[in-house]
Amino acid sequence: MAIPKFTLALKSINAINDSTEVGNDEPYLLVIGVDFTNVNALVIDTTRYGPFSLAKSETATTFSMPFGTPAAVYDSMDTLPGVVRRPFWGLNSRMPTPIADIHKMAFVMIMMENDDGDPQHIRDLVHGAALNALVKLTNNPAGPSPNSLVASHFRRAVVDAVNKLRSSGAFDGGLNNDDFVEMQEFLIDEQNFAPPRMGRRDLAPPLTFFKDTEGFFAVTVEMAFS
């Protein structure tokens, strides 16, 4: 199924329940995305939203930007990552982007809770691990042929890479002293693209992320067509 220009972005995070820490929670979301339409020229990006300061039952809603806002404008507003609704599709460009086959894109989401760490540094660690894993996936002579790879291969490679990064202790101590809440594969299919393909729509149901000591959060993703 070919889809005309569209974006995907975080619309809101709701703190259904708070963590055991004193004060507000500060969740932030990392979204790893890959377009493997051309397995010899993967397009990979990791988008960070937040941290947000949320008490129990509070919701943070990102600020919608006009269609076609270039990546440079989003980058110039990087001091407000919890406010701007920067798209995680299109990858890198932040622009409404078509896809010739919706089965050629894959996403993984990671919910973190800020605890005196550096969210951007953790984003960079996650992006590097995901990038290395996906490049290895498409160049593994012992694995599936590149042209036979499907979205689940890419999602699983990212999940495994992040779990390996966590087990190495890279998320603990120093700049990386933030708390991991939960990681999920974000699935998208034909039903999400049902006509009419115009305007903005929320993808339902919201995704939920939970860890008993780190809070319970619901995430709403917006799809928008230019």
Average confidence score pLDDT of the chain:
89
Under the banding of pLDDT at 50, 70 and 90, the label for residue 68 is confident
For residue 183, the cross-strand partners are 110
Beta strands in the chain (DSSP E): 3-17, 27-35, 43-49, 59-61, 87-89, 97-99, 105-113, 179-186, 199-211, 215-225
Q: What is the pLDDT of residue 79?
A: 62
Range of the domain at 218: 3-225
The phi-psi region of residue 23 (left if phi > 0; otherwise alpha if psi is between -120 and 50; otherwise beta) is left
Q: What is the pLDDT of residue 20?
A: 62
Mean pLDDT value of segment 13-38: 87
Q: Please report, rounded to a whole number, the percentage of residues in the chain having pLDDT higher than 70.
A: 93
Q: What is the pLDDT of residue 187?
A: 94
User: Helices 151-167 and 119-138, interaxial angle, to 10°?
Assistant: 130
Which is higher by pLDDT, 81 or 217? Answer: 217
Q: What is the pLDDT of residue 80?
A: 61
Q: How many domains does the chain have?
A: 1
Under the banding of pLDDT at 50, 70 and 90, the label for residue 78 is low
Mean pLDDT value of segment 17-35: 84
